[in-house]
Structure 1
């Protein structure tokens, strides 16, 4: 299944531009936790730990445990600000989650059997991806790490849409609830 992500955190009292700058010089990242009926809380995270986790695709869409030492909170990464020229994380926004409330998260699409598909192997086509991720709505326990798109039976000239995705149990696509006009293409073979 998916990897469990844990971030060590400390609460922080000092806020503002200067305090955040001083915090970054000590190897920490200023962040905020909000949502799920709780108060917004300013925290600091270890920069090296964040950089290491951000190298994994699943970190952006999976549940993260923030460990304060005496308590733990379940969150998802909502926003991330990076320095425009240096490999430095400037700030992170984390949203608390509740086990009984649906969340909306962007999940990566993994395309399988592209080179072995009918449209490529037999008909000489090329695969064109229109989307690399989709927004899903589900309870935290049903959150997929990624969604697989099997291209084996796709022929040249055929287009796969959002409605063609095989979603895990308890997972839905909010965009499809908006009507047929929002059933966007995800991939095609031309």
Structure 2
């Protein structure tokens, strides 16, 4: 399940462009917390600490405990605005969550047992169609990742959403769509051999 990370924050009194620029110059990132019945809260977070979390694969499934104002708030990072040239984070949107919240989160897919896939052993290439699967769950059941087993998968074989078992407490956010998550495509040499054979049959 997802981890909880404490994030030290300071409430912002001024939220204009000048104040945001001053915060960034001081090594802080402007952010906003919204959702629920409470008003949005504007605050700043430490850029160094945030960057460490930002580059984790589970960043968007991590519950952050934001210690700002009079109480701790639990939240998910929903959007990060980056500088177009330097890729430095400029602003972060957090969504307030509670134990009763039903959340839609994009969970990373981990593809395992590629050494047990006959198709890959024959030179096939794993084509990942969906890297992150949207699931619906509560705050305490957000998966860090979802394992997708490739054992037994042949060339031209595929894994559909219906083929996988989701972690306890999580359901597909879009169960009506039977999405293809990944497939094994034929190696280039095999494709060329098939095309040559097809041309020969046509000429005959």
TM-score, normalised via structure 1 length:
0.92
Q: CA-to-partner distance for each residue in 1:86-140, whole Å, 9 max, x for gaps?
A: 142100000000101210111100000123312212x432211101101110011
1:69 and 1:93 map into 2 onto residues whose CA distance is 17
Query: How do 1:26-65 residues align onto structure 2 when only pairs under 5 Å count?
Result: 26-65=26-65
Structure 1 or 2, whichever has the larger Rg, is 2
1:142 and 1:2 map into 2 onto residues whose CA distance is 7
The list of structure 1 runs, each at least 4 consecutive aligned residues, that deviate by more than 2 angstroms after superposition, is: 1-4, 68-71
Contact persistence 2:2–2:142 (CA under 8 A)? no
> 1:107 matched to which residue of 2?
107
Q: Does 1:13 align with 2:13?
A: yes
2:80 and 2:123 map into 1 onto residues whose CA distance is 41
> 1:81 matched to which residue of 2?
81
2:146 and 2:63 map into 1 onto residues whose CA distance is 16
Contact persistence 2:31–2:45 (CA under 8 A)? yes
Deviation at 1:68, TM superposition (A): 2.4
2:167 and 2:43 map into 1 onto residues whose CA distance is 34
Contact persistence 1:31–1:45 (CA under 8 A)? yes
Contact persistence 2:81–2:91 (CA under 8 A)? yes
Q: List runs of 5+ in structure 2 lacking aligned partners.
A: 186-204
> 1:138 matched to which residue of 2?
137
2:36 and 2:98 map into 1 onto residues whose CA distance is 6
Deviation at 1:81, TM superposition (A): 0.4
Contact persistence 2:126–2:182 (CA under 8 A)? yes
TM-score, normalised via structure 2 length:
0.86
Residue 189 (structure 1) aligned to one of 175, 184, 188: 184
Contact persistence 1:99–1:141 (CA under 8 A)? yes
Aligned Cα RMSD in Å? 1.5
2:149 and 2:15 map into 1 onto residues whose CA distance is 48
Deviation at 1:63, TM superposition (A): 0.9
